[in-house]
A = this chain, B = another copy of it.
Amino acid sequence: MQICLIGAGNLATQLAPALAAKGHRFLQVYSRTESSAAFLAEILDCEAVTEPELIRSDADLYICALKDDALPTVLPLLKFGKGLLVHTAGTIPMDFLSSFTLNYGVFYPLQSFSKLRRVDFSKVPFFIEAAQPESLKLLRELASCLSENVIPTNSDQRKQLHLAAVFANNFVNYLYSIAEELVQEKGIDFKYLLPLIEETANKIQTLNPVEAQTGPAVRFDHVVMDHQLESLKNHPDWQHLYESLSRGIHERAIRQ
């Protein structure tokens, strides 16, 4: 497959080399930022372009991995020929692409990507969707060369997956950062929390999260909770979070 890559952010920087390693050929990498395009183009051994108008119209596949708000400004400047255009975004409905070409779809790997942290795609689930059945087949083949988990999903499901990922990744990471600040305030190294964090994530590989729930809020233990709220008195926002999350945990436990 001959591919044009539109975007050179975290996801593109992880996904494209993984596809190249499976024998797919990249023709071009587009990024508004010259250094990003050049960096990735060198890895992929292809051309770097910084003007959307320079993107070729003869590729088999266009993977658009831009930030959500860049799609409406970049895509109208391209000509797609017969190639399949896919985006990689959680929250953008597939039909958003219908005004640019007839052959379009979505290729959404659910993972948190950083430029410098190599991702093992074999475990990453790919959620795919396409306007044409033969394009869905093509996306399934493409994803299957990287991952065991390829799931056809509609735009409504994908939007919800992205929302769930915000809770399970972005918000979880923010709680880690609060925990880090709390221990650092008392001169304790954050590294001592890492085994607990690891175990918390590992536990739900075998238990469901409701079964795995422990802590003072499950039994609404006022003595411990009042002590802990008092310890947070210099952080009113965290106090407020503590109350909301504890109430949620308790209500979930009695709903069980």
Contact = CB atoms under 8 A, between A and B. Distances in A.
Interface of A: 10, 68-69, 91, 110-114, 117, 119, 123-125, 149, 151, 153, 156-157, 159-180, 182-183, 185-188, 190, 192-210, 212-218, 221, 223-224, 227-228, 231-232, 237-238, 240-242, 244-245, 247-249, 251-252
A192 B252 contact: no
A174 B252 contact: yes
Contacts of A179: 164-165, 167-168, 209
Contact of A176 (B112, B156, B168): B168
A91 B224 contact: yes
Contacts of A170: 213-218, 245, 249
**Which secondary structure dominates chain A's binding surface?**
helix
Count of chain copies: 2
B248 A174 contact: yes
A176 B204 contact: yes
A171 B112 contact: no
A209 B168 contact: no
A185 to B, nearest CB: 7
A180 B193 contact: no
Given A169-B200, A194-B204, A210 B245 contact: no
Given A153-B188, A172-B172, A248-B241, A182 B164 contact: yes
Contacts of A68: 221, 223-224
Given A153-B188, A200-B169, A163 B182 contact: yes
Q: Which 10 A-B pairs have the closest CB atoms?
A: A170-B215, A201-B201, A177-B209, A168-B179, A176-B209, A164-B179, A164-B182, A125-B192, A167-B179, A160-B186
A188 to B, nearest CB: 6
A188 B152 CA distance: 11
Contacts of A200: 112, 168-169, 172-173, 201
A105 to B, nearest CB: 18
Contact of A252 (B123, B177, B182, B207): B177
A160 B185 contact: yes
A164 B205 CA distance: 23
